[in-house]
Amino acid sequence: MVEYTKKIQETAKRLLTEKKVDAVIGYRRGTLPMMNEPVLIKEAEKTDQLYWDSFCGVNLANYLPKRKEKLAIVAKGCDSRNIIIDIQEGQIKREQLYIIGAPCTGMVDRRKVWTRLGGKEPFAVEESKDQIVATGNAFKETLALADLLQDNCLICQHRNPVLYDELIAEALPEQKEVDPYEDVRAVEAMDAEARWQYFEELTRTCIRCYACRNACPLCYCPTCFVDESKPQWLGKSLDPTDVRTFHFLRAFHCAGRCTDCGACERACPVGIKVRQFTKKLNRDVLDLYQFESGLVLEGRPPLDVYRPDDPENFIK
């Protein structure tokens, strides 16, 4: 996808020159391999900073809530779905946005690259078409992008932006033959004790940095429940019950809203698979209410509406 870079720069330059927008939100090339930094560009002369490759996993919709100016924003499929949610939830207005859609072949999980390289540190990673070349101290390895994608990208069914003002590349065929909830079913097949232990192990290394929460475009509450003190819902230490409460409630706040963009899991500095919480909810929302979040501007999210005949076989 590196070839998008030029097109993004041109589009941004044009929009800023023609004063269609006040600023452009995109990525600029990171200071280390496999990382790019979200950036706000206000001047046409600076649009050459904009960059694109398969390491643009940060969800840019995270930078929209409460902004006042007119913005262009580069959006992958998932980002565009979160933009829809931001609009639906009153965090930004459609008229404020010019969405530069980027059909996405999937973002690379740098942890998978590290694993493939067996602990050798890459000093440079260059992408070309469907592979990356990682070079480091006395090694040079070529790896196929398809083997390195984030777990959520492997099962993504909305690679093309669903809302945009302009597409910078031809729409891609969607991945139809994926089974998004295999892992959810695997956990469901366990007995309660095994499930408890599974999540206990999953969150064991949590340091409560809240990167998962803060990377999430859905998390914009002025005061998060973890910071509430009257009452204090959970303690502040690394006590496992508190850690579990945090992860549970963080996920539950995303119920019916999560687009499985993977920003949470990508951001986790200790590699916790936090999507194991949200995916269960996504699957249930789909099964029970036939709803996938962020696909259409019209309508309300599933927990903001009801049907008289909603399933209630769990109620006595």
Partner 1 sequence: MIEKILSKDELSSWLKDLGKSFEVYGPVAQGDQHLFAPLSEYDPDFTFQNTRLSPKGLVQPASERMFHFSVDPENPEAHILKEEPPKTQSCIVAGIRPCDARAYDLARINFITSDYIDPFWKQGRDRLTLMGLGCNQPCSTCFCTSVGGGPFDTAGLDLLMTDVGEGYLIRSCNEKGEGLLQKAPGKTATEKEQKQADQIKREAEAAITAKISTENLKDQPLMDLFNAPFWDEVQFACINCGTCTFFCPTCWCFDIQDEVHGNEGIRMRNWDSCMFPLFTLHGTGHNPRAEKVQRVRQRFMHKMKYYVDKYGNGVACVGCGRCVQFCPVNIDIRRVAQLMNDYKA
Partner 2 sequence: MSDPFEPKIIAFLCNWCSYGGADLAGVSRLQYPPNIRVVRIPCSGRLDPKFILASFRRGADGVWVSGCHPGDCHYIAGNYYARRKFALLKGLLEHMGIEPGRLHFSWVSSAEATKFQEVVTSVTTAVKALGPAKHYIKQMPEGA
Return the range that interacts with partner 1 (CB under 8 A); candidates 29-37, 88-96, 154-162, 163-171: 29-37
Residues touching partner 2: how many (CB under 8 A)? 48
Q: Provide φ and ψ at 284, rounded to 5°.
A: -65, -40
220 in contact with partner 1 (CB under 8 A): no
In the bound state with partner 1, the residue whose beta carbon lies nearer, of 9 and 36, is 36
Task: Burial-class residue 134 by CB neighbours within 10 Å (0-12, 13-18, 19+).
Answer: buried
- Between the alpha carbon of residue 81 and those of residues 157, 246, 260, the distances in Å are 12, 25, 10
Binding mask 247-266 for partner 1 (x = CB under 8 A): -------------------x
Question: Could you tell me if 211 and 268 are in contact, meaning their C-beta atoms sit under 8 angstroms apart?
Answer: yes
Nearest to residue 68, comparing CAs of 43, 39, 95?
Answer: 95
Smallest gap from residue 302 Cβ to partner 2 (A): 7
Question: Could you tell me if 38 and 45 are in contact, meaning their C-beta atoms sit under 8 angstroms apart?
Answer: no
Question: Could you tell me if 35 and 110 are in contact, meaning their C-beta atoms sit under 8 angstroms apart?
Answer: yes
Q: Find the binder of partner 2 among 64, 85, 255, 268 (CB under 8 A).
A: 255
Smallest gap from residue 87 Cβ to partner 2 (A): 22
For residue 289, the Cα-to-chain-centroid distance in whole angstroms is 23
Radius of gyration of the chain (CA): 20
Q: Which does 314 bind (CB under 5 to 8 A by kind): partner 2, partner 1, none?
A: partner 2
Q: Which does 221 bind (CB under 5 to 8 A by kind): partner 1, partner 2, none?
A: none
Smallest gap from residue 237 Cβ to partner 1 (A): 4
Bridge partners (DSSP) of residue 136 are 122, 139
8 in contact with partner 1 (CB under 8 A): no
Q: Which does 96 bind (CB under 5 to 8 A by kind): partner 1, partner 2, none?
A: none
In the bound state with partner 1, the residue whose beta carbon lies nearer, of 37 and 165, is 37
In the bound state with partner 1, the residue whose beta carbon lies nearer, of 99 and 234, is 234
